[in-house]
Amino acid sequence: MENFFIALFSVCCGAAGYLIAHFWIHPILKYREIKDQIISDLIFYANAINADDLNEEMKQRVLDRMVANRMRSAELSACFYKFPKFYKIYLMKIGEQPDFACGELIGLSNTGEFDAAQKRIDKIQDQLKINPKVV
């Protein structure tokens, strides 16, 4: 009978560990991965803002930037709604606002002028607490 309770306890601990990993840890790690990808995209597409009077390669890069920003916005939004409550409270406490950064990423994808794009990039950096010296 004692072995039964040990086995039952082990199964319960395993199930609890799976639930914690799947519903708490995975969304947090995914968020960090998306945030790193946003930083990478902002750096890579820094000069791909305006497609007017550019060669075909730069026009393609502008289109790629638009698609990348929209994809990251969708991924970030989906990830944000999977966060556990305690992590949303933690992000609010440190001033990160990934839900607002989603809107700025969509706005950045639609922006074709350098000054407007830079303002949106600054907002994204502030909302995701990205070091401004990185981008």
Calpha distance 93→59 (Å, rounded): 40
Report, as an integer, the average pLDDT of 107-135.
86
Alpha helix positions (H), the chain: 2-20, 26-44, 56-80, 85-94, 98-110, 114-127
Structural domain including 101 reads: 25-127
Q: Answer yes or no: is 15 within a domain.
A: no
pLDDT digits (tens, 9 = 90+) for 37-55: 999 998 888 877 776 667 8
CB atoms within 10 A of CB 30: 16
pLDDT digits (tens, 9 = 90+) for 5-18: 898 999 999 999 99
Quick one: pLDDT at residue 51? 64
pTM score of the predicted model? 0.84
Q: Answer yes or no: is 13 within a domain.
A: no
Q: Answer yes or no: is 68 within a domain.
A: yes
Q: Answer yes or no: is 134 within a domain.
A: no
Q: Answer yes or no: is 14 within a domain.
A: no
Q: Answer yes or no: is 67 within a domain.
A: yes
Q: Report whether pLDDT(133) > 70.
A: no
Q: Report whether pLDDT(132) > 80.
A: no
Calpha distance 87→25 (Å, rounded): 10
Q: Answer yes or no: is 17 within a domain.
A: no
For the chain, how many structural domains are there in total?
1
Q: Answer yes or no: is 8 within a domain.
A: no
Q: What percent of the chain has a predicted confidence (pLDDT) above 90?
A: 63
Residues 60, 93 contacting (CB under 8 angstroms): no
